[in-house]
Structures are given as structure tokens and as C-alpha cells.
Amino acid sequence: MCGIVAYVGSRPAYPIVIDGLKRLEYRGYDSAGIATIEFDGSLLLKKKKGKVADLISYVGNSEPQGTIGIGHTRWATHGPPNDINAHPHRGSTDRLAIIHNGIIENFSAIRETLTCRGHNLLSETDSEVLAHLIEEVMSGSSLNLFDAVRAALSQVVGAYALVVIDKENPSSLIAARKSSPLVIGIGEDGSYYIASDATPIVSHTKNVVYLEDEEVALLDLNEGLRIRTISNDIISPEVHALEMEIESIEKGGYEHFMLKEIFEQPQSIRDSIRGRINLQQGELKMSGIDDHWGKWSNASRILILGCGTSWHAGLVAEYLFEEFARIPVEVEYASEFRYRNPIIREDDVVIAISQSGETADTLAAIKSAKAAGAHVFGVCNVVGSSIARETDSGAYTHAGPEIGVASTKAFTSQVAVLTIIALHVGHRKGTIAPERFTRLLAELNNIPELVEKVLEQAGRIDSIAEQFSRAENALYLGRGYQFPIALEGALKLKEISYIHAEGYPAAEMKHGPIALIDDDMPVIFIAPMDDVYEKVVSNVQEVKARGGKLLGIVTEGDKEVASLADHAIEIPRCDDALAPLLSVVPLQLLSYRMAVLRDCNVDQPRNLAKSVTVE
Ligand code: M6R
């Protein structure tokens, strides 16, 4: 959580840092702040509760002029959102300031020691101790800033991405990371940029270095870029070329990023499957699997780990793998998996799914699975992310940057890639009939066109949303492949419209949730004509008999559910296994429009952040 940005160069830092903070606001938006070193040598700090826009209004015309600066947008963990808890934080003197993303687990003990030594800590945050600790290390030694940061961090337990500025070193930034991401941008004019992800950097430079865990970097206008580990080993920076384009992180005329990302799905799915389906040869290409085929062919179980929407993609994958590859699958919330005592075996294949590749629980779960000897395969969207680097092999989803907090295109890309993996493994193992395999390749290849058709119904979905938007509860029901979609539909509605929603297997409804149904309750049935269709029709009848406003997501040409429901949205006919890629789209649009009608901040829903880098 939290976004951090820093700049050192020859231009004023303020506009660069503010622009970067706007791009990172999806990571947290309850307070924001900036610190610069001004031309008179002073350390100038401005911070404010609220969004980056509130910080900008607060700064007004008195914009900092310094050419070195750090900025932060916060998602509160320790201490409520207010001006004092906002970053940057200073030490006891006015010499240095820090920004931090992560959690310092032993902050109470450090704080107590520092307080005994006369430090006056002002905030309730865990982060502030870092500024005081570095200052304390420097005051008792002749260490320079770089070494002092390393020494201070050797006393810290927890996760951090942090940047320090020091008015005694006005041409240097010091950055460090452990379990929270940091990217360094190298400008052609000798300037440096630092950010939580590449989005604030891409408009300035495409040359980046991804800082690794327990590395500390000095970015100095005279000395250049130097990296050492906390234990003082020298690291040679590896410069990567960013493949991101600036247009991909702009709204492109859409009202919200979420809407843009929903409409990007034909293209993002195309990008996910590109180069992986060979229709001529009738085969799939997935080198991350072929290179480790021994692990997959001997797997006695597949364990799928993820959180939120990625966990829902994992549930779809459970149906896919069991149907096509005939391997038993367990899907686990990463956050639960790591805190029980899971049985992990060396012949397990673990699939970790994450859009951001930075989710702390998923990362930690991967580490325990690896330690137990399992082969870990990552399905990530963000290239070079921590999870992508931590896993033994993997496949990128190539959905492009997803900025809206509610995940949409990342989900369909995850499902598309997982479908390819399940089909590929099934094909190689001979557990899928050749004719079905060939047919599915062709159908999957055509899915982007079918998603386009679903999107053509956006206007109709908007008018249904108008009728549902005042509801306080909603129920999403589906069976088989559509059960995870019911969960995903409910999550989308909850997180952006604040309407309480639940997803249930349609048949389970009789065991409790049916009691909730009254005349005002929207009930959304995801009921394509698949092999459980007849059963779902009975469930629709059961709800109909008890009131409830029914919306059916149905296959085009459907008469039965469509005639029972108050509203129906049609999706094109396709194989049961591919239908989740279509049926989720109207649910995304429905949640989006309901949230807009309720005046909610769709891209930045309350209390949430895009990337959950704390456990
Ligand atoms: O980046 P990840 O895929 O690991 O994120 C997992 C969840 O935090 C994420 O899917 C979250 O549930 C979304 N806000 C859902 O829209």
C-alpha cells in the first residue's frame, strides 16, 4: 500500500513528484505529502490529509522550487489519516525526511529506545521511527548517509520501500527495499526517479532498475547510481527497458479508468493469448510449463493461491484443471494458507495468481510453498513484480496497466491464461479429447470478438443499473463455472458501490440465503446454457416464487430464464469452460454504472487500495 515517488535532477522536483503521486494514487489516497530541499538549503515539508488534489490546494501558489524531492500517498495502517500521520516524516532535527511503504513490525521497541534517547516522535505511524533511527545512527558515528541507512535498516524487522533525503546531501537520494516494490528510473540528463511502480517514471525515461530485497541504493547527481546490500555487498545495477507506453496509463477519454479497462478487454484478452495459440498446428505454447514439464506431469495436486479477484480466477481454474488436466486442485486464500500449517508436498505444483505481483499475503505464501519444496508457477500482470521474480516459472497475463482499484481486465486475462495452461497440460497429458481441444483453441481465439459483442449491450445494462441502484443488498447466483463469477460479480458491486452483495452457488441458496429475498432484493442469476442450466432454471423458479427482482445473464436465444427474469442480458453461445470470460463482463458494467449512479468514487473506493502490500 502507499505510493512513493522521488526525483533528483536539474528540474523543479515538485511538478514531477506531484504528477507521479497522481499516477500512484490508486495505491492509497487518504493523505499525501512532499518534502524538497530548497535552494537556501532548507528542508521544506508539506503534507495534508486527503487526496493529492487536497495537497495541491494546500500548497497553492507557494510551490517548492528545489530540484530534489520525495512524495507519498498514504493508505493508513498505523494511525488514522490526518496531517501528522501523513508522510514524509522528519527526524528530531530538520536534517532529513523519509517516505515509507510497508510495515515496521518492531517499531514499538525502536520507538521506546529512541524516546529514551530524547527523540520526540510526533505521529502514530510505524514509519516515523525510520527517520529518527537513521538520525540516531548518524549522530553516534561518522557514517555517511548511505551507510547510516544500511546500519539503521539492519535493526528493522518488517517490510519497507523507503526513500530518504538529507539537506546535508542535497544531490543524493537514498532508497531501500524489503518486500515492498521500488523502481529506479535513470534519466538521459543524469537525473534519477524512484517510484513504487513504473507509471510515474515512464513519461521521463524507459531505463529502469528494479531494486531487490535488502538492497540500498544511492542515487547521486555526481557519484551516479550505487547499490549495496544491507550487509554491504556491492551489486551491479541491471538496467531494463520499460515496455510500457504512456497512453496505457491515461484515461483516454473515458470517465473512469475502470470503464476504460472494462472496454479494453477484447484487446487485453487478445494480448494475453497472443503467441500462445497456434491454430494451424493445433497446439499451445507455454514455455514456463514446457521447461518444467517433469513437475507438471508428475503433479499429484495443484494448489492455487491468490487474494480477492485473483482468488476468483483461481476458482475458475479449479474447474478448468479438473476437467481438462484431471489433476486434483485446491484453491486457497493466500492469507489463510500461510497462517495455518498447510501440508505442502514436493510433487505439488503451486500456481500463484496476482495482478500486481506485490500482494504481501500471496508473496509470503509463495515463500512457504517454495521452502517446502513445491514448484511455484506465477500468473502475474506486472512485469518484473516481486511475485513474478519469486516464482520458479510463470506466465505474464499481458493485460497492460490496470489502474482502477476494482480489477476487471486483469481478471479476464488471468482466466484466459489459466485456460491456456489447463488446456496445454491436459493436451500433453492426453486427458482432453483431441476434438474438444481443437474446438476450444478456435473458440478461445475468438473470445475477444465475443467480448466486443457483450460490450455492445452497455447501454441496456446502464438502464438496468438505474433500476437496481438504490438497493442495499444483492445476491449473485451461479453454478459450475459460473459460481466463481457470482462471487466476482458480488465483490465488484461491494467494493465500488458499497452495496452489500453476496455470491452463492445457486443451489446453496436454499440452505440459507433464500431467507433474504424480498420484493426489493436484486437477484442476479448467471445462467448460460451450460450443463447445469436445467438445475439453474429450477433455482430461478424458486427465487421467482418468493419475490426478488431478477436479472439473468443468459445465452443468446434463451427463452426460459429470460421469460422468468425481470431483465436479461445475453452473452454469445460458447463452450461452458469459456463462458466465464463473457458472463463476467455485464456484471462489471452493472457494478460500474450502479456505483456511478450512487455517486461513488469508482476508481478509488473508500478504504481500499489497488495493491495490498501489507499482511
Ligand atoms: O494484485 P493482486 O491480484 O494480488 O490483488 C489481489 C486483490 O487485492 C485484488 O484482486 C482485489 O480484491 C481487487 N480490488 C478486486 O477488485
Q: Cβ distance 351 to 375 under 8 Å?
A: no
Judged against a pLDDT cut of 80, whether residue 516 lies above it is answered with yes
The stretches of 373-456 forming alpha helices (DSSP H) are: 386-390, 409-429, 434-455
| pLDDT confidence band for 614 (50 / 70 / 90) | low
The average confidence (pLDDT) of the chain is: 94
| pLDDT (0 to 100) of residue 244 | 81
SS3 content of the chain, % helix, strand, coil (to 5): 40, 25, 35
C-alpha dihedral, 279 to 281 to 282 to 286, nearest 10°: -90
- Burial (CB count within 10 angstroms: exposed 0-12, middle 13-18, buried 19+), residue 83: middle
Judged against a pLDDT cut of 80, whether residue 135 lies above it is answered with yes
Judged against a pLDDT cut of 90, whether residue 164 lies above it is answered with yes
Judged against a pLDDT cut of 80, whether residue 24 lies above it is answered with yes
Our answer on whether the CB atom of 368 is closer than 6 Å to any ligand 1 atom is no
CATH number, domain containing residue 267: 3.40.50.10490
Our answer on whether the CB atom of 604 is closer than 6 Å to any ligand 1 atom is no
Judged against a pLDDT cut of 70, whether residue 19 lies above it is answered with yes
Q: What is the pTM of this model?
A: 0.83
Report yes or no on 365 lying in a domain: yes
Mean pLDDT of all residues in 271-287: 94
For ligand 1, the distance from its centroid to the CA atom of residue 18, given in whole angstroms, is 25
Lowest mean pLDDT, pick from 25-29, 390-394, 561-565 = 25-29
| pLDDT confidence band for 28 (50 / 70 / 90) | confident
| pLDDT (0 to 100) of residue 326 | 97
> Ligand 1 test: best mutation among 397, 612, 615, most atoms within 8 Å of CB?
612
For ligand 1, the distance from its centroid to the CA atom of residue 598, given in whole angstroms, is 23
Element (H, E) at 54: helix 52-59
Domain count, the chain: 3
Q: Which of 392, 420, 454 is the last residue of a domain?
A: 454
Q: Which of 454, 478, 505 is the last residue of a domain?
A: 454
| pLDDT (0 to 100) of residue 40 | 97
406 plus 490 within the same structural domain: no
| pLDDT confidence band for 517 (50 / 70 / 90) | confident
**Annotated active-site residue in 2, 307, 380, 574:** 2
462 plus 450 within the same structural domain: no
23 plus 107 within the same structural domain: yes
Per the structure, the complete domain to which residue 32 belongs is given by 3-248
Report yes or no on 363 lying in a domain: yes
**Tens digit of pLDDT for each residue in 455-494?**
999 999 999 999 999 999 999 999 999 999 999 999 999 9
Q: Indicate which atom in ligand 1 lies nearest the CA of residue 309.
A: 10
Mean pLDDT of all residues in 397-424: 96
CATH number, domain containing residue 81: 3.60.20.10
For ligand 1, the distance from its centroid to the CA atom of residue 485, given in whole angstroms, is 15
Cell 452483495: give the residue: 501
Judged against a pLDDT cut of 70, whether residue 339 lies above it is answered with yes
**Tens digit of pLDDT for each residue in 446-465?**
999 999 999 999 999 999 99
- β-pairing, 183-186 vs 207-210, is antiparallel
Q: Whose CA is nearest to atom 4 of ligand 1?
A: 354
Q: Cβ distance 421 to 428 under 8 Å?
A: no
Q: Which of 454, 477, 511 is the last residue of a domain?
A: 454
Mean pLDDT of all residues in 531-548: 88
Question: Is 610 one of the annotated active-site residues of the chain?
Answer: yes
Q: Indicate which atom in ligand 1 lies nearest the CA of residue 356.
A: 1
Judged against a pLDDT cut of 70, whether residue 143 lies above it is answered with yes
